[in-house]
Amino acid sequence: MAGDSVESPFGSWLDAPAHQTWLIMEGQRLLSFAKASRLAEGFGNLDGRGRLPAQAVAETMNTARMTHGFAMAHIQGIPGCRELVDHGVAALWGPLRDATFGGWYAVAEHRDGNSAKAAYLHAFVALAASSAAVAGNPEAPGLLAEAIRVLDTHFWSEEEGTLRESFARDWGNEESYRGANSNMHGTEAFLALADVTGDSRWLDRALRIVERLIHQRAATNDFMVIEHFDRQWQPLPDYNQDNPADGFRPYGTTPGHGFEWSRLLLHLEAARRAAGLLAPDWLLEDARGLFASAWRHGWAADGAPGVVYTLDWDHRPVVRERLHWVHCEASAAAAALLRRTGEAQYETWYRRFWDFNELYFIDRLHGSWHHELDEHNRPSARIWAGKPDLYHAYQAVLLPCLPLAPSLASALAQACWPKRGL
């Protein structure tokens, strides 16, 4: 834990060889399961047994996330992943991209009837392209340049210091909505873009996003992340009250995003310091506040262990299901705060989250992780059916063993190939 941490007076799992080996083995198990998601036009969503349903279609979100995941695996020297990176890049360059107006559809040739262009998806395309470039895919730099062009031209608002949410296919009819979720993943992508391009403007943009959404909003709201805003950045506290379990825009506040933002603030602080840029003291303070609020209000909020999906504005559970990505982000945030501060409280939470993941989420019988549990911590599928996601769990097993900066793919390249780089 040297370099960006305070040395702990206790033994940490982050330094334990057996724990590090466990994380590596779990990562390889996740990769083996995810390889079955390949389709002709990208990657699709696997069911609970690791099979592609007959009606499976390639989706941009999953294709980008799988490409990012397999790129990180290839960087580490795990055989059989380079070809999957190539496949993902080809799909993002090909059927998933709008060759007429630019940008990316949700599914190939918008066969789902949705031709809108969403910031959330484009952030993942940029992340995938940056990771594939680090992994050495020859087409990735071009894909990355195109993703950056689209982000610069259509999504980034210099006036607002955030990403615009979505547009019609021809980039008209901008949605009158601003979302924290898309900007959170934009922040993640911008950290990677800064590392791969060497352009510090991405770190400045990330700081502007974080300042608006976290320092100005969440920090004055008991560090409960406000998810939904109108186009003038006025909060929409009742948004989706009639559809509270929406998978991307749920009603209320989402403790899992509090954990995720907490970690991203620490990555941003470390990245700006490494680049010789100002890193405000409030980045660490707000990261602490987000983590504390998320566990205090989200953990066992209904009396059972685990973090509930959503809360109302009085801290009462709304959607009591436990989602796997929430607990992946919780463990990763605990690791980041432990690495940054060396404080025993974060070691305690890190172990608690991983014990919970092993006990309830990790499926030793059929592979991967259950993506959702009900209020009694039994597998369910109200919000997320099947096991489509590699991204969250795979990052959760990689992040604890890496420094806070650079971003994941670049950090893996430095760790695995310190003399040559990739």
CATH of the domain at 261: 1.50.10.10
Q: In this structure, is residue 245 part of a structural domain?
A: yes
Q: In this structure, is residue 8 part of a structural domain?
A: no
Q: In this structure, is residue 38 part of a structural domain?
A: yes
pLDDT at 113: 82
Cβ proximity of 322 and 345 under 8 Å:
no
CB atoms within 10 A of CB 234: 9
Cβ proximity of 240 and 247 under 8 Å:
no
pLDDT at 112: 82
Q: How many domains are there within the chain?
A: 1
Percent of the chain surpassing pLDDT 70: 96
pLDDT at 418: 67
Structural domain boundaries enclosing 262: 13-411
Q: How far apart are CA 228 and CA 232, in angstroms?
A: 11
pLDDT at 360: 99
pLDDT at 10: 63
Is residue 39 within a helix (H) or strand (E), and if so which, with residue range? strand 38-39
> pLDDT under 50 in the chain at which residues?
1-6, 421-422
What amino acid positions are annotated as catalytic residues? 257, 392
Q: Where are the beta strands (DSSP E) in 294-389?
A: 322-323, 372-373
Structure confidence by residue, pLDDT tens digits, 228-268 = 999 999 999 999 999 999 999 999 999 999 999 999 999 99
Q: Which residue has the tokens 């660490």?
A: 284
Sequence letter at residue 292: A
pLDDT at 114: 85
Is 115 in a helix, a strand, or coil? coil
Closest alpha carbon to 87 in 113, 109, 66: 66
Sequence letter at residue 177: Y
